[in-house]
Amino acid sequence: SLIVENCWNGGVVLGNPQAVQVGDLVGVAGRLSISGKTVGEGNAEDPYATLAWVANHLGERGRDLKAGMVVITGSVIPTVSIASGDRALFTVDGLGEVAMEVF
């Protein structure tokens, strides 16, 4: 229920779709810096296994994934708190980066 209640986040940033080959995302590295200081870095496990689990879980309940649905398969870093005035930069190797400033 913590995830359903948005305990750790209230949204997600989506970029432009990118073509990837099966396996490209396994172990991909990502890092988060806040106001120029690296505060989190890590590697993805296997997002395809997570996606398969979600599809199977839904299938067991008579539901399925539909084309165009967004499925968040996890994070490469633990949850990090940010405060007013912080500027965050999140980078995923080979995919790009996203920046935001908290007001």
Total domains in the chain come to 1
pLDDT digits (tens, 9 = 90+) for 28-44: 999 999 999 999 999 99
Whether residue 65 is contained in a domain is answered as yes
Whether residue 59 is contained in a domain is answered as yes
**What's the whole-model pTM score?**
0.79
Burial of 32 (0-12, 13-18, 19+ CB in 10 A): buried
Whether residue 1 is contained in a domain is answered as no
Whether residue 14 is contained in a domain is answered as no
Mean pLDDT of 6-28: 81
pLDDT digits (tens, 9 = 90+) for 44-95: 999 999 999 999 999 999 999 999 999 888 889 988 888 999 999 999 998 8
> Which residues span the domain enclosing 79?
29-101
Q: Cα-flanking dihedrals φ and ψ of residue 52, to 5°?
A: -65, -40
